[in-house]
Amino acid sequence: YAIFDAFSQNNGQMNVSNERYLNAIKLFLTAVTPLEYQAYQGYAHVGRQFSGIGARIASQMQSIDELRHVQTQIHAMSHYNKFFDGFQDWAHMHDRVWYLSVPKSFFEDARSAGPFEFLLAISFSFEYVLTNLLFVPFMSGAAYNGDMATVTFGFSAQSDEARHMTLGLEIVKFLLEQH
């Protein structure tokens, strides 16, 4: 949070090199934050369903990670919300924007399935897509444009994503070992 505060105190939004970048980051933050929140809810729910202690703890720890990602993204948005429109109503707009229709239905389907189906869909499929197609390019763009607040939560989240993908791979391994 120290980097967020330094970004805010030094008017970091004035150092962003391209104003079009703000529209891209607005799409990213307002799209990913509700999905991370759904992941948090799903992992918390799934973590209570497993009888085995390993899967239970892994799911609950991942739930905590996802909630921390949401909090960090909201903190990053809060500074931009003071100066730019469009960051303030992400929870309300989650049901209303076209670009979230596919991931929203993907999460709804995953959360309505069983625990292993949820973990396979989110830990394996979604975490790979989120990390490789969203976080890496957006955090590189954030660094290029001088947005250190976004870079901060991006790198923090990326370090967690490797662990999340490992949980997904372990679920795939478990399913393949079944006869």
How much is the mean pLDDT over the chain? Answer: 81
Q: Output phi, psi for 80, to 5 deg.
A: -65, -30
| C-alpha to C-alpha distance for 36 and 75, rounded to whole angstroms | 14
Q: Give the per-residue pLDDT at 44.
A: 94
pLDDT in tens, 86-118: 777 777 777 888 888 888 899 999 999 988 889
CA distances from 7 to 2, 88, 131, 149 (A): 8, 19, 24, 6
pLDDT in tens, 8-44: 666 667 777 777 887 888 888 788 888 889 999 999 9
Helix orientation angle between 53-83 and 2-9, rounded to the nearest 10 degrees: 10
Q: What fold does the segment set 2-6+17-177 form as a domain? A: Ribonucleotide Reductase, subunit A (1.10.620)
pLDDT in tens, 35-79: 889 999 999 999 898 888 888 888 898 899 889 888 888 887 777
User: Domain extents for the chain?
Assistant: 2-6+17-177
Taking the alpha carbons at both ends of the chain, their separation in whole angstroms is 48
